[in-house]
Amino acid sequence: MSFLSDIFRRLIGAVPLTPIPDPYREEPMPDLQSAAEYIRARLASGQLTHDDLARLVVAYQQSHDLDADGKPGPATLAKLRPAALRKVYPLPVLPDLRKPQITSGHKSRNPSRPNHDGCDLFYRWQESDGAVKLGDGGATRDAAGKPRWFIPAGLCAIAAADGVVSAASKTPTGWRVWINHADGNRTGYFHLRDARVTKGQEVSAGHPLGEVGDNPRDTDAEHLHFEVSPIGRYAPIDPETWLVGATYFAG
């Protein structure tokens, strides 16, 4: 029996519906396009009626303390459609207004690093920053031997969007934090010196997550490695695509 058929059976049989899943749980998101096609096909064949859809709307309204009139008006649609996710870059703007920069991208745009599942973020180095650790075989310095990129001491990575922490633990490559978001994706923050959030904690965009460090298993300079993957499975996408429209967080 299909999932939708089971819902109809429960509605028509007056059996209480299972509560709508929490969008922050570690589980795959439904394929809404396929669901819409399923509904259209059954409406066209008469296997599904508009009365059935009205019953579904009533059940949803009742479970969300809305006026249960079966009409998907503005209040119902506002609940049903998640608000656009506000996104910020996962490092803050510095007091001197320097912004974080992506220096090494996802493997899809960086063929020289076929195993790079995310992107790396630094700040442009200035003389006033003094001596900093150089890593990656000197890739973080220029032809004159001066640093090109750096991370200020004590700087924290920040949540790139509102969400719920799904992991905050120590790994061989440093502390890492994963956050689940309402758009069905989760963001990962790697090479941290510590974690200042705990699993299950709700965070807002810009919330400090942990001090940025380096990968103790490698010769990296201090930097933030940032990833984006669907909730419930590890299938990293290009973070720069996900960050389109993101703003810089100034605290």
How far apart, in whole angstroms, are the C-alpha atoms of residue 179 and residue 209? 10
CATH assignment of 101-242, among 3.40.630.40, 2.70.70.10, 2.60.120.1140, 3.40.50.300: 2.70.70.10
Question: Residue 211 to residues 165, 174, 175, 195, 251: CA-CA distances in angstroms?
Answer: 16, 11, 9, 7, 16
For residue 34, what are the β-bridge partners? Answer: none
Cβ-contact 181, 162 below 8 angstroms: yes
Question: Which of 172, 160, 168 has the alpha carbon at shortest distance from 217?
Answer: 172
* pTM passes above 0.75: no
pLDDT attached to residue 145? 66
Domain ranges of the chain: 3-80, 101-242
CA distance 11 to 52: 9
> From first to last of its 251 residues, what are the pLDDT tens digits of the chain?
444 445 444 444 444 444 444 333 344 445 555 788 889 999 999 999 999 999 999 999 999 888 999 998 888 887 787 678 999 999 999 999 999 999 889 999 988 899 999 999 999 998 888 777 655 544 555 656 677 888 999 999 999 999 999 999 999 889 999 999 988 899 999 999 999 999 999 999 999 999 998 776 666 678 999 999 999 899 999 999 999 999 999 97
Residue 53 Rama label (left phi>0; alpha psi -120 to 50; beta):
alpha
User: What pLDDT is recorded for position 214?
Assistant: 78
Q: Which amino acid is at 81?
A: R
User: Which pLDDT does position 207 carry in this prediction?
Assistant: 98
